[in-house]
Chain A
C-alpha cells in the first residue's frame, strides 16, 4: 500500500476513538440531568464535578484526535 494512503487511513481510524469519548460524554450529562431533575436543589453543588468529569472525558477524545494529527503532520 502507498505509505501516504496508509497514513491517512490510520488518521481516520484514530478518530474512531472519539466514539468512546462521545459515549462517555452522553453518559455523563445524561446521568447528571437524570439526577438533577429528580433533586434540582442538589444539582448546583455538583456542577463543578460535572465540568470536571466533562474535561476528563473530553480529554480522552482529544487524545485520539492528537494521534490523528500526529499521523497527519508529524509522521
Chain B
C-alpha cells in the first residue's frame, strides 16, 4: 500500500561529465548546464532564423520574434524612458533565457533549471551589479539619490532613507527568490497532486476518486505555463524598473 515519492528528487543535479574535484566538491558538467546551453541554442536559432528573412510582411516565425521583441521594448520604454534603450539587449536576453528555461521545465521529465536558487541569484546579481556599476559610473555620488525619495518632508526622511536602503539591498534577494520559489513550488505541487492519483488508484474502492486529482493536475499544469511566462515577464519588468533607478537616481 505504501507508495512513497520524494517530490524534491526531481531537482537533483546529475553530473554528466566529471571535470575533477576541488577539495571534496565535485566539479561537473551537469544536466543543468546542458539545459542552459540548449536554451541559449534555441534562443539563438529562433532569433537568427526569424530575422534572416527580414520580410516586410512577416511570416509566422518572424512575427513571433517581432512580438517578443516589441513586447520587451515596450516594457523597457515604459519603465526607463527613451535613454533606457541601451539596456534593451540585456533585458531581452534575460527575459528570453528565463522564459525558455521555464518552458523547458514544463516538458515532462525535463529538469527545471530556474528551480535552483543559485541560477536565479546569479541572474539577479547581474542585474543589480549593472545597476550599481552603471549608476556610480554615470552619476557618481548623485547615485545615492536613489535612497532619497523626492517630495518627502525633511523629518520623514529620517525614516524613509533607512527603509529605502533596506529595500534596495533586498532587491537581489527578492528578485531571485521570487522566480526560484515560484518554479520550485509549482513543480512540487504538480508532483504531489500527480502522486495523489497513484495513491488513490492503489487504495481499492477509493480509486473511483482518482480522476479528481488528475483533473487538478491538468489545471495546475495550465497554471504553471501561465506562471512560467509570467515570472519571466515579471523578472524582465523588475529588471527594467531597477535599471530606471540607475538612469534617473533622483526618483
Contacts and interface: CB of A to CB of B under 8 A. Distances in A.
B188 A63 contact: no
B231 A55 contact: yes
A66 B233 contact: no
Contact of A51 (B177, B178, B185, B233): B233
Interface in A34-60: 48, 51-52, 54-56, 58-59
Interface SS, B side? helix
Contacts of A69: 184-185, 188
Contacts of A58: 182
Interface string B163-177: 000000000001001
B230 interface: yes
Interface residues of A, number: 14
Interface residues of B, number: 15
B181 interface: yes
A54 B178 contact: no
A9 interface: no
Contacts of B174: 59
A65 B237 contact: no
Most buried by B among A51, A55, A58: A55
Most buried by B among A56, A62, A63: A62
Nearest to B174: A59
B237 A63 contact: no
Contacts of A52: 233-234, 237
Nearest to B6: A73
Interface in B156-214: 174, 177-178, 181-182, 184-185, 188
A43 to B, nearest CB: 18
A37 to B, nearest CB: 23
B185 A55 contact: no
Nearest to A53: B234
Nearest to B71: A48
Interface of A: 48, 51-52, 54-56, 58-59, 62-63, 65-66, 69, 73
27 contacts: A48-B233, A51-B230, A52-B233, A54-B230, A55-B178, A55-B182, A55-B227, A55-B230, A55-B231, A55-B233, A55-B234, A56-B178, A56-B234, A58-B182, A59-B178, A59-B182, A62-B178, A62-B181, A62-B182, A62-B185, A63-B177, A63-B181, A65-B185, A66-B181, A66-B185, A69-B184, A69-B185
